[in-house]
Structure 1
Amino acid sequence: MSTRVVEGLPSRALPCFLASLFVLFFLARPTLANEPGHDGKSKVVGGYFEEWSIYFAGYNIANLQTNGVADKLTHLTYAFGNATPTGCAIADSWADYQSPYLPSVSGAPYTGPLYGNFAALQQLKQLHPNLKVMISLAGAAGFSAAASTAAGRQAMAANCIDLFVSGNLAPGISAAGVFDGIDIDWEFPTAADTVNATLLLQEFRKQLDALGKTNHKHYLLTMFGPAGQQNFSNIQLAEVARELDFFNVQGYDYHGTWETSTNHASPLLDDKQDPDSSENFYIEYTIHSYLQAGVPGEKLVLGIPTYARGWTGVPSTNHGLYQTSTGPAPFPAADYLQTPGVITYLTLTGLTGYTRHFDYGRIAAWLYDPSTQTFWSYDDPVTVLLKTGYVRTRVPGGLGGAFVWALKDDDANGTIVKTMAAGLN
């Protein structure tokens, strides 16, 4: 039957039944000796806010306050600052600290000289004093160049900390206190970067601790943890983990339209019927690998996508799963990602003509419309609830938590984030 996608759980009995079975399975499984747990402290409920959200998407920091998502978050990561061979740079000064036109978060006007998203974050933190806000730094070439020498590592850490953590943005403009730490989004270290990446993280940790000693504050340091073995094998996972508060582990983009066949973009478990099964493109393999490498469970925070990946020209066999395609699915004109083969969860909830299918073996959902031969792989409240059950039970005390990429792509009510928060608390 063709159904409209809805925001809530499709029924109460099915997800509760699945969640119960799932939790019992992970509670019953033996824990390996080299898969350490932690003390059961509160979980990270995180989300990435992209600086460009304020443009075509029209999504602002103020939206997080009005839709109640800010009440659920423990960590907000702002993307991005630019990593350069000599340190850091502002990626978009208008969005970051110059625009005087953003809606107020607290209701009070922005008085300057700090404006833009940074001023909005400042107001958000005043309303939520326990919220941790981090700046995510991106730029593989910049990281690689700076990390290649001791002097480069020292200069990068010092410059990035001064710019973002100390908040010295420009003459007369300070964002001191907006950011509680740094997220290293290095996509991806190569084999030649392996040792240097560890040394760079050690330098950031050293300098953040020195500043924290002066300010009587612990500054956070996190890193993007890639999903694929071809990428995480170039990181000294255990050594890097010792410097981090946690890894933001990529739990998405296992499959997408860089491939010509349909598959799940964010599957939790394996399926021997998957034509790509030998590639180990699923969450449990990634998490198991990090644990086996010696990363404590409490330092693994699982990523959950708030967007779908899709294909078209997909035959109806197996309701479109594991089938060939003619190309990326077209996106509705209103979808602000404007990217073939990708739409937001917000857009997906308004699609018509599709039937929802659920893969019980892999904990994954998809939509298929045989009339247009279009297939979308996505996460919904059912998969999110089950993934949070996994986070809580994968090791004694659970993994560190979960985060979404990205906050703007959730529906207007913040359903994915709120479901994630409910499952982790």
Structure 2
Amino acid sequence: MSPPILLTVDDDPEVSRSLARDLRQRYGEEYRIRRAESGRAALEAVKELKLRDEQVALLLADHRMPEMTGVEFLEQARRFYPKARRVLLTAYADTDAAIAAINRADVHYYLLKPWDPPNEKLYPVLDDLLDDWKAHDRIKSDERLRVVGHRWSAPSHAVKDFLTRSQLPFKWLELERDAEAERLLDAHGGDAEHLPLVITEDGTVLQGPSPGEVAAALGVASRASQNFYDLIVIGGGPAGLGAAVYGASEGLRTVLVERDAIGGQAGQSTRIENYLGFPSGIAGSDLARRADAQARRFGAEMVLTSDVSSLDVCGSARVVRLGNGDELSAHAVLLTTGVAYRTLHAPGIEELTGAGVYYGAAASEARSCENEDVYIVGGANSAGQAAVFLSRMARSVTLLVRGPN
């Protein structure tokens, strides 16, 4: 497969050549650099690339161009490459227009001209955007982990939701919808009464596993590497991840214990618009992935799919007992257990939970909602975000709100 493309658009030939030169110097070994000198020419190039089934990782356009502005180009190019990272190049006087473009064209970032020195003003931004693009491209293209399940199977939903929230690439194969699902179930002697059937990259077959068993098969740490730490953080939401970053960056031996997937309730959000430092918004799973990588870079340890059963004091140490029987001790324990969704109290709801009734599962259940009528109980932020997200696939989305507004 040919390397992905970085496409630049600027009507000033000198600026266009300079930008292409800087991009080639940094990214030339991994990407192909293409440039255009008008918005219309760039849009034609995008259409041609789409016809050839080429990958485009980045679209970088100058704001002030005749006939078609950079914002107009990015807005139209988005239809052909919605996953490409979009960057607007602008002068300081046009920053208001650039900020408006974040909403209009879903621009990921804007850069000010001039960008010298590129090591400080260009490359750090593009490095981050391209790393983000590669992470999403990996999730989309790597489907060597296969999960056979049924849409009305609560255990299937639990595994699918864990993998989705953890951003672990997998191929979901639904019985009664995907022919391959039946073939795999028969080939591996699976039982439709005990779903899901999980087949890992190395051929390991798991029948009816829990999320923790799937995590273990994939090499996700569910046990700590040592018995004593300076800091134990219980809970893997934004607060816990932040504590892990701060503790580990100060040289403390830090371990974070999370009973499910990293990210907490925020990690289940399809879009967070008001998180500091992300002007174009960020998906909760992306925020969790970035924070996880940051904490690990400083040396923090992550122990996932592990419940904490008790907390005790032994002399100057705090002792944390896990559900699997392990004991961890530390000088300090920080509780960042966050919140949980309020549950519905209605006859029969427990039997349907995970099998038609879901809590915060818009991302993992989106495909199952295609051309279906979806009802969302609640009227706050999470409900609104889920409604916007699911409306792209569902036949209809109805909010059921208890209050008058």
TM range (shorter): under 0.3
Higher relative contact order (CA 8 A, sep 6+): 1
TM value normalised by structure 1: 0.23
Larger Rg: 1 or 2?
Answer: 2
TM value normalised by structure 2: 0.24
